[in-house]
Every structure is written in C-alpha cells, then in structure tokens.
Chains A and B, each alone.
Chain A
Amino acid sequence: QAGLTQPPSVSKGLRQTATLTCTGNINNVGDQGAAWLQQHQGHPPKLLSYRNNNRPSGISERLSASRSGNTASLTITGLQPEDEADYYCSAWDSSLSAWVFGGGTKLTVL
C-alpha cells in the first residue's frame, strides 16, 4: 500500500518554529485529512492532532495543524528540547481501504 510523504528530517533552533508537512492524494489527506502523531524513542505514538485539525485535551497550544489540498501541516512554535521526536501523519485511504502513514520526520531541536 502506498504511503504519505514526509521529509525525513527537520532541524530548528530552540524557541524557533518548525513546520512539518505530509503529502498524500485526493483519496487520503485530501479526503478526510491527516492525524499527527509524536513518538519519542522507546515509547508508543501519541496523538497530537485529530484529522479535523483539533488538538486532543492536554496537547500544547504551541502545536497547530492545518491542511491545504492534499498536504497536511503541523506547526510547532517556541520549540523546546522535549519537542525533539519522530512525527508521523496518518490518514484513511478510501481508494485502498487501508490506513496509510507517512515515513516519519525526525525533528531535531538545536
């Protein structure tokens, strides 16, 4: 099954802003949007944003998600050391009848 496209790595400085992208097609991201997940080494993924771009309870307001066409974005402002992690997007693909994931972006906070 084809996946979503994410840049393998992004590096930004402390307190800067990082924008992560996730590109799919009209059958997945362009249809129902993408959820965003954060994963620290050795831990399970944690939901940061629902497919409708809303944040779950307890997720920092420094994070915001959006979508333009077939590309979803996650913006993190005021980067902190704890933001250093792997970030994945996930979407339901109505053509494949399957969940698809991005390959993940490793965010480094310098």
Chain B
Amino acid sequence: EVQLLASGGGLLQPGGSLRLSCAASGFTFSSRSMSWVRQAPGKGLEWVSSVSHNSGDILYADSVKGRFTISRDNSKNTVYLQMNGLRAEDTAVYYCADPADYWGQGTLVTVSS
C-alpha cells in the first residue's frame, strides 16, 4: 500500500521558517518525481514545487520561488520542503504527491501574527 506521510506543519509568525518532511513507502521512491501541492482553506489545489527522481530537475511555482527549497533523500525515501520568509498567503494544507497519482494526507501550515 502506498503511503505518503507528511509532517512538520505548525503555527508561526510571518517571516518565519519551517521544514516539511514526507516519508514515502509502498512504491519505488527513487524512480519517481515528487511534488508538493498546497490547498489554502476553502480553496483549490495549487502546485508548489517538484523534484525529479535524482534531484537533477527542480521546479518552483512563481509564488514561492526564492523562498522555498525542495529536496529529497532517496536513502530515506523522504522529500522535504524548506520554507523561509513565510507569508500569511502561504497558509494552507501542504500535500506531498505525485499530482497525477499518489497523494499524502497533508500537513497544515498556518502563518499568522
């Protein structure tokens, strides 16, 4: 059974930093590109970032470019999202996913003063 367990969310003030983790199991993690997708309260899905299977290709949405960094550790079957300079508009549930296949349960990030 495929599992994507995201963790690391929380409540923090604007300008703060947070690192999300997503532990994968049940499939060959090292052969898959992985992404982070977020969903603001009551809103739709928004792609945030993707990393290729070997970290050779990394992409970001314009809304997070320069503030967020995606990475992965294939030895640990884990993908990360380092989020710096957080803003109120970054408040969302963050899902670890292959957007056309597997989805995790998400972790909530709330940015508020």
Contact = CB atoms under 8 A, between A and B. Distances in A.
Interface of A: 1, 35, 37, 44-47, 50-51, 88, 90-92, 97-104
A25 B47 CA distance: 18
A47 B44 contact: no
B44 A97 contact: no
A80 B47 CA distance: 30
A104 B44 CA distance: 6
Given A44-B95, A45-B45, A88-B44, A97 B104 contact: no
A24 B102 CA distance: 22
B58 to A, nearest CB: 11
Contact of A1 (B44, B47, B101): B47
Contact of B99 (A90, A97, A103): A90
A47 B95 CA distance: 14
Contacts of A51: 100
A9 to B, nearest CB: 13
Which of A45, A51, A102 has the most chain B CB atoms closer than 10 A to its own CB?
A: A45
A101 B46 CA distance: 7
A100 B47 CA distance: 7
A106 to B, nearest CB: 11
B61 interface: yes
A90 B105 CA distance: 18
Contacts of A50: 100-101
B101 A44 contact: no
Contacts of A1: 47, 61-62
8 contacts: A44-B105, A45-B95, A46-B103, A90-B99, A90-B100, A92-B99, A97-B59, A99-B35
Contact of B50 (A47, A99, A100, A102): A99
Given A1-B61, A35-B101, A88-B44, 6 more contacts: A1-B47, A35-B100, A47-B102, A90-B45, A90-B100, A99-B99
